[in-house]
Amino acid sequence: MIQQAGRRFFLLCEAAFDAAFGPRINPFYHLGALSFFLFWTVVASGVYLYIFFETSIGGAYRSVEQLTHAQWYLGGVARSLHRYASDAMVIVVLLHLAREFVLDRYRGVRWYAWLTGVLLLWLLYASGIGGYWLVWDRLAQYIAIVTSEWFDALAIFGEPIARNFLNSATVNDRFFSLLSFVHLGAPLFLLLGMWIHIQRISRARTNPPRPIVIGTLLALTALALVHPALSQGPADLDTVIGTIAPDWFYLPLYPLIDLWSPRGVWWLVFGGTLLLALLPWLPRRREAPAAVVSLANCNGCGRCFADCPYSAVILQPRSDGLPFESQAAVELDLCTGCGICVGACPTATPFRRVGELIPGIDMPALTTADLRAQILAAAANLSGDGRLLVFGCHGGPDLSSYRDQGVATLTLPCVGALPPSFVDLVISRRHADGVLLAGCVAGDCYQRLGVEWTEQRIAGQRDPYLRRRVPRERLAAVWAGPAGDARLAREIAAFRERLRALGRYRPGAAVTPVSSSTHPPEADDDAYRMG
């Protein structure tokens, strides 16, 4: 129920942003990359601030005030950027975590990214809270006292550390040197954790699209100018704190420590972390069977290795004596069964004339031979004008309601699992008048790279190419996502009208050329064979 409600919320928000900016630069599809950008924004602004910062009890507050007011045009803006980019990073990271949960992108082989991401939350909050101490204003005094009381509840120190904040005489410059070391060290560990977080992801995106970068920087700068970050008066341990304005992005638990008890909040934090960490196994996701390599049909070309979104396919030295340098192998605990590797294999072609249709790599749940048989069976039932074969995926719209006498549908694990040669088969052999590809929203493929690789294969920019003989006017793509039923229905109706106007395909007729200098020359059916 939580996932369904959350999914509806995100789909509504994403639809609004799609309408405003388009799916290619929708920030919701780049939350992970955006968090990296915000991190570097915090680092860059923090380096500038640290140049002028005085690491001492008397100089800390004074140096920050000097930056904020005397150098408001640069130092003040840098301080505000440092503050607001840190807050934005918390928002983006929490949205990223919530979105991956509601879209069910955290179980199965994705447990590694989820678990490391949960642990990164601790480093993120430690980095941000530590930065507030260095300002040494009234808010920093409050944070120092409450944090020390909170850690004293664990009884892991010889003496209560809260005693260090009884009065001004108990805090010295060495304390600020320690704070500076912690605030510089925590982000370094955070960066290391972020690097570990993406290690099982092939071609992880750590840079958002340029329009998002520019828009984010402009928004943060505008906020810094309109509502600059200010201190809340110098800290004074000899007086009791009255009223403060906390940062609710980093300090939501601190009022609870006062209202409840330090130990109760520890139970909440540890319990919440443990629950989040165990979610991938509550229950564990059952992935489709992993891809299987057939060495007799594998020439070690490496296309499956290059296209796998999860680094599940590796290349090893040849072991069967065939005259090739390498062979593909599958890491079973990393494979999601998406089939993108099959879509990349040049031997996964329905035009094979000799032997069984067994490619170099295949999916047990839907073999290449089974796919060809299903296509031929579905196309045999098509009739009338504008006959259309629709290929969809598990992350796109439900295709079951679109079947009729003139429309046949097939659902794949991912649209990237469809070898381009199958589109060629359907159109050039006149099994249908046209092919429509329906999948996830562009820029937010459930299997990360399926939509992108498919577009590049059709455009002749990525091997295996869709041959130039295939008329592009008989091929359409609708990247609508799971909420795109209405859009897909409109596109199917409009595309069928165009197909009716075109009439039946006649081999040898003029076709729409592909604007790509890398597209291979025209060839016969045997060009799809291995080697």
Q: Which residues are paired to 477 by β-bridges?
A: 437
Among candidate residues 196, 227, 215, 198, the one with its CA nearest the CA of residue 41: 215
CA distance 262 to 388: 64
pLDDT in tens, 276-318: 999 999 988 888 899 999 999 999 999 999 999 999 999 999 9
Domains in the chain: boundaries: 2-278, 292-505
Name the region of 355 (left: φ>0; alpha: ψ -120 to 50; beta: rest). left
Residue 392 forms beta bridges with which residues? 411
- pLDDT (tens digit, 9 = 90+) per residue, 417-468? 999 999 999 999 999 999 999 999 988 899 999 999 999 999 999 999 999 9
Please state, for a pLDDT cut of 90, what percent of the chain lies above it. 75
Contact 469, 524 (CB under 8 A): no
- Strand-pairing partners, residue 314, are 329
Gap between the Cα atoms of 324 and 342, Å rounded: 19
Give residue for tokens 């599940």.
312
* 3-state secondary structure (DSSP) of residue 309: coil
* Identity of residue 503: G
Fold of 2-278: Cytochrome Bc1 Complex; Chain C (1.20.810)
- What's the CA gap between 480 and 92, in Å, rounded? 24
Q: What is the CA radius of gyration of the chain?
A: 29
Give the pLDDT mean for 45-62. Answer: 92
Q: Does the CA dihedral 436-441-443-444 come out positive or negative?
A: negative
Q: Which residue has the tokens 């990393």?
A: 334
- Which tokens go with 252? 């939501």
| 93 Cβ contact list (under 8 Å, min separation 6) | 31, 35, 117, 120, 121, 124
Note the pLDDT tens digit of each residue in 201-241: 988 999 999 999 999 999 999 999 999 999 999 999 888 88
In the predicted structure, residue 527 carries a pLDDT above the cut 70:
no
DSSP assigned state of 337: -
Find, among 530, 343, 357, the residue nearest to 447 by Cα. Answer: 343
The yes-or-no verdict on residue 515 having pLDDT over 80 is: no
pTM over 0.85: yes
pLDDT of residue 106 exceeding 80: yes
pLDDT of residue 508: 65
